Amino acid sequence: MPATVADLPAVTATPAEREAALIRRYAHTGPRYTSYPTALDFAPGFGAEAYAEALENSNRSQRSLSLYVHIPFCRRICFYCACNKIGAQDSRRADAYLSRLDREMVLVGQHLDTRREVRQLHWGGGTPTFLTLDQMSDLIDRLHARFGLSSAPDRDYAIEIDPREANVLTLRHLQSLGFNRISLGVQDFDIEVQRAINRVQPRQLTENLVEEA
């Protein structure tokens, strides 16, 4: 929702007035951006048959495919996050989920013309880099087997990265898997804010990862 002039703090405003103005400015709900349709569009009236029909109807477009893969695991839970996530320390917890994800790929793939290349791929979460390098490779192999991943230079293969859960080896591996865009999670560099939201993430850690990327 666009801000109005009344929402913006005046130059002469006190810190408390500026803070109150920011709260007013952002005190509105908005749609989730990581999935389409958005979560608010899902309703009981749209069932499995309607979903299958929509998938099959999309084949007539012969347009390339876009896939979103949700990895719901996090080693640390950020207090601000409203995403579907599971707190876990052991990456082996993801094995059963990845198997079920492969089953969903099979079910969805039955309704799609798999000659349509996947030109857009996005891994979100959760923390996708919660997965081990081997698990990431396995997931890419499954996606390619079920759908057919593009090798076109202009493909858009993106992944969300928690800088606390990645290093240069992670980045090199992601590049070898075909990813060419990353989204780095940064909420605030103020240490007090970081402690309050349970996401202590030193600025230098983030800067180092940006330079490596």
Q: What range does the domain containing 18 cover?
A: 1-30
**Are 24 and 43 contained in the same domain?**
no
Secondary structure (3-state) at 122: strand
**Are 6 and 90 contained in the same domain?**
no
Domain total of the chain:
2
Residue 1 has pLDDT above 50, yes or no: no
pLDDT at 149: 95
Sheet holding 156-161, edge to edge: 65-71, 118-125, 156-161, 181-184
pLDDT tens track for 33-73: 656 667 777 788 888 899 999 999 999 999 999 999 999 99
**Are 37 and 15 contained in the same domain?**
no
Angle at 170 between CA 167 and CA 173, to 5 degrees: 150
**Are 19 and 58 contained in the same domain?**
no
**Are 51 and 82 contained in the same domain?**
yes
